[in-house]
Amino acid sequence: MLKPFSSIMLFMVLPLMGMTQGSIGSFAGDESVFYAQTKQMNQFFRRFNGEEDVLGKRFYQGDVGFRDAKTRKKYMGILFDASSPSISGDMKFVFSEEVLNKKNPVFLDFHARDWFAEVSASFIYKKEKVDILLYLKIEPQNGGYKWVFSNVYCDRFQTWFTHINDTTNQKYFIHPMSHELDFMNLHKIFKDEEKIDYYLERDYQPDQLSVFVMEMNNGNLKFVSVNNVKFHVFQVPNWYFEVSYFNRNNYNSGWLISNLLRVNEQEKSELIRHYSQVK
């Protein structure tokens, strides 16, 4: 499993629901900033889909204004982090045009697959502080939904599998005739625990989630705190985007798209594998 990547995007903020400099509708000053902020991830979904008005009033199917195309276009302009130049305005424009396509618009589904939470958390591992990335996804249960762990990443766990696919190894192997000796030579292998990963099959992929559960059950891992949260979304065809929280005293704050990549479906499937053990 690879470490998560990160990049930030650039976009000039568009007007929101008749917003002028320093105001949104009839609100001004600090109030306008409050209403412009995307304060919750649920609100990000609703604004992306055009399912709430500028005051945060939620629209339901059948309501006037529900998923209105013009409202969505205005909201789309403030759902991106505008502080970084790493994503071109052209990419942002193409993404928005495809999402807002009149014939086949794209909407996000909070309860659907292919989006993940990434929680950076601190733990004490055998008296040493370590940071672990926890990946979670939404799963249905008993007519409702819940968050479940889908994968984890820890540098310490990764070091236990450094010899996988080491084609230069000429010393550490189990002789092909070992079965004729009832594998009596295994005792030599198990004497050197740090080399055990040399003997794994070539296509083995480490399951850090299982290691995490085992170490928790054995009392070797103790949770300390959550450091940061962000989200990875794969629900838009041919696109991946990341949503992070920005605490600013201006309109461009709250939960915003902080990373945007154009990917084909094969690339998307490969990325999803980093966040979930389910293939």
Residue 15 CA to residue 22 CA, distance in Å, equals 11
Higher confidence at residue 33 or residue 93?
Answer: 93
Q: Give the domain ranges of the chain.
A: 23-110+234-273, 115-225
pLDDT above 70: residue 12: no
In this prediction, residue 194 carries a pLDDT of 76
Instruction: Kindly state the percentage of the chain with pLDDT values over 90.
Output: 56
Cα of first residue to Cα of last residue in the chain, in angstroms, is 13
Nearest to 110 by CA among 19, 231, 211: 231
150-161: average pLDDT: 90
Q: Mean pLDDT, the chain, as a whole number?
A: 83
Containing H/E element for 243?
strand 239-246
228-237: average pLDDT: 97
Nearest to 228 by CA among 243, 207, 241, 217: 243
Confidence class for position 274, pLDDT limits 50, 70, 90: confident
Convert the pLDDT of each residue in 47-73 to its tens digit. 999 999 878 899 999 999 999 999 899
pLDDT above 50: residue 29: no
pLDDT above 90: residue 94: yes
The residue whose two tokens read 């995307």 is 38
